[in-house]
Amino acid sequence: MGTISRRSLSVAAAVLAGALALWTPATLDAGGVAAYGAKITFTKGKPIAFRDFQLEYLGPRSRKTFWLELTASDTLGRLKPNQLVISYKGPAS
């Protein structure tokens, strides 16, 4: 059995990286801005920049569950473009 050259490993790594780039959904544009309508992976304390605003997950708070409603509220109905509702939904399960 022969040995694998460094060049072969480099080529294999480049092919794998290209395949992963095609397989992974693009959620950030070239400037690092998150895409609307895409699944975004978040990390505690790391801001996510969108085109019109920035969002940062600060972590769980006292094991409580909250819902963010932006277009319509379950209890208050349709929301205006500059309105949002945060609802407390009870202890985290």
pTM score, whole prediction:
0.47
Backbone angles phi, psi at 34, to 5 degrees: -70, 145
Confidence of residue 36 (pLDDT cuts 50, 70, 90): confident
49: exposed, middle or buried (C-beta count within 10 Å: 0-12, 13-18, 19+)? middle
The reported pLDDT for the residue numbered 65 is 83
- Average pLDDT, integer, range 26-53: 83
Sequence ranges of the domains in the chain: 28-91
Tokens of 83: 């309105």
DSSP code per residue over 13-75: HHHHHHHHHHHS---B-TTSPBPTTS-----TT--EE-SS-EE------TTEEEEEESSEETT
More confident residue, 27 or 41: 41
- Tens-place pLDDT, residues 40-85: 888 889 999 998 889 888 887 788 888 888 898 888 999 998 888 8
Name the average pLDDT for the chain: 75
